[in-house]
Amino acid sequence: MEDKKLITPEDAAERLGMSPKTIRDWCRSGQINGIKVGRAGLWRIPEEEIEKVIESNTKAGMRKIAIAISKGGVGKTTTAVNLSAGLAMQGKKVLLIDTDTQGQVSTLLGLEPDIGLAELLGKEVSISEATTQARGNLFVLAGGDNLASMKIQITKELDQPQFALANVLEEIEGQFDYVIIDTAPSWDILNLSVLFYAHEVLVPISLEVLSVQGFAKFQENLQNVSKYQQNLELKYILPTFLDRRVKRSTEILQQLKFTFPYQICDPIRYNSKLAEAPGSGQSIFEFDKRSAGARDYDKLVSRVLKS
């Protein structure tokens, strides 16, 4: 019988785009059939097990990705819009949900919807009525001012308000390839319900000290949620506003690469076209597909598609 090829948790993590800790946890729980070797009992994984995970991910239902961090001005909405647009351009059917009272997702895509997430949460409309088709494969569930009062309402009226989003989105399960959720720079019941619905978290971090400090606090909150929502994983860390002329910006990028080698994505460089595109109601790919911003977000789209 041919010996099975065994690989380390680190090698498995690199192939799957996740952390070695997650791989070891999967081995302990039996989610994958790991093997302990040597006196130290180190985990090794048959390569065929990793192939099974890759195949399962390919066939899996829709992926639910929250774009989140408790800090404003880091490029969350820009990332949510351009990631969604890029995935849609690759033939994926995408639902982009805006959970922010500012409702900027619609503005960035040149939309003016009359109804959206607030009305859906209030059960005033069906999800088909609340959703706006923005592009061929891209659909939007808009945010806006009405979400402010809706947060109060779901807190008062629901026994388990953390499942508010999951409850109203249950009927679309499997109808999209990706659900991308843009969040507000806060820690409230609606953001909590996002994390109880999503399976993956993408954190944009502008390369400045305050943003890194905000990320540290967000990590604490995420770990607390993960105790109850065990399917949630910090999957991607996206450095934004990289300016290599600024020494501190480059230093923070290197620190992130060292601390989060498996989650770190290629950075989004500071680019004026990214700031100009919203004024035209276009994604960066529509506004200037040859710009540095378009190239950077194209790399992010490729990373998400592969992992």
In the predicted structure, residue 15 carries a pLDDT above the cut 80: no
At 120-169, the pLDDT tens digits run 999 999 999 999 999 999 999 999 999 999 999 999 988 889 999 999 99
| Six token digits for residue 43 | 């985990």
Global pTM exceeds 0.75: yes
pLDDT at position 62 is 85
pLDDT in tens, 251-285: 999 999 999 999 999 999 999 999 999 999 999 99
Mean pLDDT of the chain: 91
CA distance 151 to 164: 10
Report pLDDT for 56: 61
Angle between helices 9-16 and 20-29 (to 10 degrees): 110
Q: What is the CATH number of domain 61-306?
A: 3.40.50.300
Length of the chain: 307
Walk across the sheet containing 138-141 and list its strands: 131-133, 138-141, 94-98, 178-182, 63-67, 200-206, 233-240
What are the φ and ψ backbone dihedral angles of 171, each rounded to 5 degrees? -75, -15
